[in-house]
Structure 1
Amino acid sequence: MNTFFSKIKTKKVLGTITILILISFFIPTPYYLFQPGSVEELASKVTVEGGEKKSDGNLYLTTVLSMKASNIYYLAYGLLAPHTDMRSIVEVKGDFTDKEYDRMLEHMMTSSQQNALVAGLRAAGEEVQVKPNGLFVSTVLGTSDAKGKIEVGDIIRKVDGEPINQMEDFLAFLGDKKAEEKVTLTFTRDGVEKSADIALIPLQNSENKVGVGIVLEDQFLIETARSVKINAADIGGPSAGLMFSLEVYNQLKIGDLTKGYEIAGTGTIDMVGNVGQIGGIREKITAVDKAGIDVFFCPADVHITDTNEKDVLDEAKKNGYEVKIVPVKTIQEAINYLKELPPKQSVA
């Protein structure tokens, strides 16, 4: 009899354990895992009208593989796997919803491509026209009356029926307004025009005494003499800007900028060619080393808070990576470095 009840008890315990294990598969953790991603050549992704794609070497962008630690088993994997960085969801996304975060990544990539196009064409001596084209909402403050009415990713086109194309116009319009006055913002969201009445609030540390409590970024319309197509597929974020601009330049200028080398890099780019800091630099140099890259461009540390240059050199030293790391402040510094390289000697 005791054996019978003992077997029933054992089955209940095993059943309970099985149920708990199954449940644990569906309990998300508040973390993202970041690992070395891909190293992708750029000639197939960038096409400049009238440009030349043939070269002895290649230019590459670098990516970071990110995944949600959707259960405790992924979390455990992240703790044990080499070259894996773990960050909280709040650290990665802030208070953005998933939809807002996706819009922000898409905006950053689109802006990055525009900046790269302008910087690359201008470095090659091409004419480019840049025109303001609305204001992108990148943040809505919790204290703003716009919270719940305006979302990250909305594009503001008018204020009180007046067209607004750039930040300067927007600030000038609000210059003589007072707190609690209302303005009507007309904006597009996912291609649909909408409007909302927003009460103005006092602002601290701002030239304007009042505002709507949203952080805005200028959007631009780019006009060029020749078409440039960039196919980034599902790559998000702004960190491929430098390499996109170098590929645009390389297809336009006479001569092969690569000289037979395999050249990767990372860094944001602005329209005048300045290179900016990015995330995931340690994961990227690991991916670059695995891919057998010769030269890796990274953002130089310019400001006191910059760490890309220090981090990538530290990671390479710790792991014995032999790739040549070249910190740059501008696209022109990268171009000058490549121009001075001797052609790579082929192995017979």
Structure 2
Amino acid sequence: MKKRIRILNVLLVVGITLILLYFIPLHYYVTKPGLAEPLRPYVKVDGAKKDKGEFMLTTVAMGKANIYSYIATKVNDNYHLYKIDEIKVKGESDEDYQFRQLRYMEESKQAAILNAYKQAHKTYKVTENGIVVVSVIHDMPAFHVLKLGDVITKINGKEIRTLTDFTNTVQASKPGTNFNLEVNREGKIENFNIKTKTFKDEPNRAGIGVSIAGNLELTTNPKVKINSEEIGGPSAGLMFALEIYDQLKDEHLAKGHEIAGTGTLDIDGVVGPIGGISQKIIAASNAGAEIFFAPNENGKKNSNYNEAVKSAKKHKLKMKIVPINTYSDAITYLEKLKTKK
């Protein structure tokens, strides 16, 4: 009887230990294949008709590592391990990181709408309203001055409307250059003086230590609404733009095919690289995608496209991987695509 009690006590201790290990976070993040979902429920263009086929949004699932997910990265190459400073800016809280990702998503949606309406020759109007602060680097001059969500509208009295206006003004400066910033903070205009400083990891470059995003206001005809909910990051830009364009046009752009993809998109239609593409193509394949658009980065050796092709071969995926440099590349490919029987 005593022996049985001792065994039960040991099992109880082991069980409690295993449970506690699950809840003890490590200083890493783990990513794995996420979901591939149809975009039509997220995008609504007034008057759009139902299409044949689908454009799909792909995601990567990410969470703080515990001992079990850490071990999973050692035995399953679909799980990837990242140090915290590879994911978050130094000194950035979880809430700040989420704010940055959601702001990048907002910027991505704006670029998607702009490209789609331009391509479809539909009416749109763009108003540029300065730039938004989405993160502030620890130990840099802006850290104790600017806040997330601040909108910088002027520097030294000169209007700042776009990201280029800001970078051309600040990045060309020498360390110790003083800038007077006019900032819209929650509807109130404030002014701050900030001196530039060299970056710790880039001693030949000076700045104030902020990450920024565009702050466009778009009005369109017909109206469009994108409900991205809690999806963050800029990587859905290309696919959002294709879904919007598809709803703007009478013909079926997907032509009955299941088409997934990824890639950032700027207001000029350039498609940029993203992280986790080897995991995204697995998510897309699992969801039944036949075609996957991957950023080609103008043929760079280690491009997203080349990584996707390599991963697709390794996992014996049947999807066709298509290299994309610009939004127009994707439209041209789809216009030539044969309708699925």
TM over 0.5: yes
Tell me whether 1:331 sits opposite 2:327 in the alignment. Answer: yes
Residue by residue over 1:23-51, the C-alpha shift from the partner in whole angstroms, topping out at 9 and shown as x without a partner, is: 5444310111111111111112111123x
Residue by residue over 1:109-131, the C-alpha shift from the partner in whole angstroms, topping out at 9 and shown as x without a partner, is: 00000000001111111233222
Structure 1 equivalent of residue 121 of structure 2: 125
Q: 2: CA distance between counterparts of 1:288 and 1:168?
A: 35
Structure 2 equivalent of residue 340 of structure 1: 336
Q: 2: CA distance between counterparts of 1:268 and 1:174?
A: 23
Q: 1:168 to 1:338 in 2, by over 3 A?
A: closer
CA contact (8 A) 2:260 2:292 kept: yes
Find 1:110's aligned residue among 103, 106, 109.
106
Q: 2: CA distance between counterparts of 1:34 and 1:176?
A: 38
Q: 2: CA distance between counterparts of 1:344 and 1:261?
A: 6
Find 1:90's aligned residue among 85, 108, 115.
85
Q: 1: CA distance between counterparts of 2:171 and 2:32?
A: 45
Structure 1 equivalent of residue 234 of structure 2: 238
Paired residue type of 1:296 = F
How many percent of aligned residue pairs carry the same amino acid?
A: 35
Shift of 1:222: 1.6
Q: 1: CA distance between counterparts of 2:172 and 2:11?
A: 70
Q: 2: CA distance between counterparts of 1:322 and 1:8?
A: 55
Q: 2: CA distance between counterparts of 1:164 and 1:262?
A: 42
Shift of 1:283: 0.6
**Is the radius of gyration larger for structure 1 or structure 2?**
1
Greater mean deviation of Cα atoms: 159-168 or 114-123: 159-168
Shift of 1:173: 10
Residue by residue over 1:268-301, the C-alpha shift from the partner in whole angstroms, topping out at 9 and shown as x without a partner, is: 1111221111111001111111122111111113
Structure 2 equivalent of residue 76 of structure 1: 71
Q: 2: CA distance between counterparts of 1:299 and 1:322?
A: 19
Q: 1:292 to 1:24 in 2, by over 3 A?
A: closer
Tell me whether 1:49 sits opposite 2:46 in the alignment. Answer: yes
Structure 2 equivalent of residue 39 of structure 1: 36
Residue by residue over 1:223-267, the C-alpha shift from the partner in whole angstroms, topping out at 9 and shown as x without a partner, is: 223211011122111111111101111111121111111111111
Q: 1: CA distance between counterparts of 2:17 and 2:78?
A: 30
Q: 1:325 to 1:147 in 2, by over 3 A?
A: same
Paired residue type of 1:238 = P
CA contact (8 A) 2:155 2:179 kept: no
Q: 2: CA distance between counterparts of 1:168 and 1:15?
A: 61
CA contact (8 A) 2:107 2:214 kept: no
Q: 2: CA distance between counterparts of 1:37 and 1:168?
A: 34
Shift of 1:155: 2.4
CA contact (8 A) 1:149 1:196 kept: no
Q: 1:322 to 1:150 in 2, by over 3 A?
A: same
3-state SS of paired residue (1:40): strand
3-state SS of paired residue (1:296): strand
Gap runs ≥5 in structure 2? none
3-state SS of paired residue (2:37): strand
Find 1:30's aligned residue among 27, 30, 39.
27
Q: 1:205 to 1:222 in 2, by over 3 A?
A: farther
Q: 2: CA distance between counterparts of 1:55 and 1:89?
A: 42
Paired residue type of 1:237 = G
CA contact (8 A) 2:295 2:305 kept: yes
Paired residue type of 1:107 = R
3-state SS of paired residue (1:302): helix
Tell me whether 1:200 sits opposite 2:221 in the alignment. Answer: no
Q: 2: CA distance between counterparts of 1:18 and 1:47?
A: 49
The aligned length equals 335
TM-score normalised to structure 2 length: 0.84
Paired residue type of 2:338 = P
Q: 1: CA distance between counterparts of 2:174 and 2:277?
A: 44
Structure 1 equivalent of residue 132 of structure 2: 136
Residue by residue over 1:46-78, the C-alpha shift from the partner in whole angstroms, topping out at 9 and shown as x without a partner, is: 11123x231221111111111111x32332234
Paired residue type of 2:323 = P
Find 2:308's aligned residue among 312, 315, 332.
312
Q: 1:183 to 1:313 in 2, by over 3 A?
A: same
Q: 1:239 to 1:157 in 2, by over 3 A?
A: same
What value does the CA root-mean-square deviation take over the aligned residues? Answer: 3.4
Q: 1: CA distance between counterparts of 2:41 and 2:301?
A: 35
Q: 1: CA distance between counterparts of 2:173 and 2:13?
A: 67
